[in-house]
Amino acid sequence: MNKESKILIAGATGLIGSAHKRKFEKEGYENLISISRSNLDLTNQKDVNSFFLEHKFDYVILAAGKVAGIIENKTYPADFIYNNLSIQLNTFEASKKTNVKKVIFFASSCMYPKLAPQPMTEELLLSGKPEKTSISYALAKLAGLYSCLAYNTQMKKQVFIPLIPNSAYGPNDNFNPDTAHVLSSLIARFFDAKKNNLNSVTLWGSGEIKREFIHVDDITEASIKLINMRELDKLPINIGTGTDVKIKELAKIIADEVGFKGTIYWDLDKPDGAKQKLLDSTKIKNYGWIPKISLADGIKSTVNWYMQNYD
């Protein structure tokens, strides 16, 4: 990859896509094309094929997809299957037909079995059932990951690079409490509670489950490092920090950062999800990548970004 390479960022207004756009622009890449749902429907095969034929990209960052929290996953499982499968397969096939050099695909840690040993190595994929509340999304992402491997096998070259980041957060995340993932949802909930002088906030589940969070800028550093390597030993590759935190502890950190002084209650009638989802990121660390942004610093900068962009 060089500064003149033609690079497509799909999902450029979302969390991971926007982070890649910021990084490429900062590094002086001159030939970026960014798309979102407003200017290209990636579920439309004909439109995707025409778009790729017109532009002839060198590299593709596929950060587009339907993503949300537990409520959305339980309510609209068919939408998660259809949209993600369509986006992935249309992009992969168009990339193959137009000889794209490398495609980065972002899978998800929810693909791993609910009861997988911790930390989870890439070899544990398909060794058990994913957590049921997100199974449609998990199956769509599994299909995307194994499609990458199938294309590489059939084409006899490593074009498609499937990566598995753990729970990502940062600027341009989804902060809608009804559809967001836990960290960004907590920021919005506590900010709203403080703004409206509420005395308490009630959160789902027990708060005892543990999650690993990684700042989106660290994910971006990892993906750009890997896309520039000539050949990777074995795919897919996990991207995580190697440490996790209880949701109760996370809530306290975020409440303190936002300045919410009220009481936090836990609704035990609501689901927790998998007890733990910690990735084994040995592979990528062996390539010389390490995360640079601590959880405390990442939360602080994300809260500041949210407060500045609230409206």
Mind listing the pLDDT tens digit for each residue in 229-259? 988 989 999 999 999 999 999 999 999 999 9
Q: What band does 274 get if pLDDT is binned at 50, 70 and 90?
A: confident
CA 264/CA 32 separation, integer angstroms: 44
How much of the chain exceeds pLDDT 70, in percent? 100
Which position among 59, 137, 151, 169 bears the catalytic label?
A: 137
Residue range 149-168: average pLDDT? 98
Q: Are 136 and 81 in contact (CB under 8 A)?
A: yes
| Residue scoring higher pLDDT (68 or 37) | 37
| Residue scoring higher pLDDT (68 or 305) | 305
> Under the phi-then-psi rule, with left for phi > 0, alpha for psi from -120 to 50, and beta for the rest, what region is 293?
beta
∠ CA 198-260-299 to the nearest 5 degrees? Answer: 135
Q: What band does 38 get if pLDDT is binned at 50, 70 and 90?
A: confident
Tokens standing for residue 103: 């495609």
Run of H or E residues at 165: strand 160-165
SS3 for 59? Answer: strand
Q: What band does 311 get if pLDDT is binned at 50, 70 and 90?
A: low
Q: What is the pLDDT of residue 300?
A: 98
Q: What band does 72 get if pLDDT is binned at 50, 70 and 90?
A: confident
Run of H or E residues at 137: helix 135-155
SS3 for 78? Answer: helix
Q: What band does 120 get if pLDDT is binned at 50, 70 and 90?
A: very high
Cβ neighbours of residue 1 under 8 Å, at least 6 residues apart? 7, 58, 59, 102, 224, 227, 228
Annotated active-site residue 137? The verdict is: yes
Q: 7-173+213-243+278-294 in CATH: which number?
A: 3.40.50.720
| Residue scoring higher pLDDT (69 or 118) | 118
Q: Are 298 and 259 in contact (CB under 8 A)?
A: no
Mean pLDDT of the chain: 95
Query: Which residue bears the tokens 């168009």?
Result: 94
Residue range 282-292: average pLDDT? 97
Residue range 184-211: average pLDDT? 96
Q: What is the pLDDT of residue 74?
A: 83
Query: Which residue bears the tokens 């403080």?
Result: 194
∠ CA 160-162-164 to the nearest 5 degrees? Answer: 170
Q: What band does 69 get if pLDDT is binned at 50, 70 and 90?
A: confident
Tokens standing for residue 203: 């959160």
Question: Is pLDDT of 71 > 80?
Answer: no
Question: Is the whole-model pTM more than 0.85?
Answer: yes
CA 310/CA 176 separation, integer angstroms: 11
Q: Are 172 and 13 in contact (CB under 8 A)?
A: yes
Long-range Cβ contact pairs of 114-123 (< 8 A, separation 24 or more): 114/274, 118/276, 118/278, 119/240, 119/242, 119/278, 119/279, 119/280, 119/281, 120/238, 120/277, 120/278, 120/279, 120/280, 121/238, 121/280, 121/282, 122/164, 122/234, 122/236, 122/237, 122/238, 122/280, 122/283
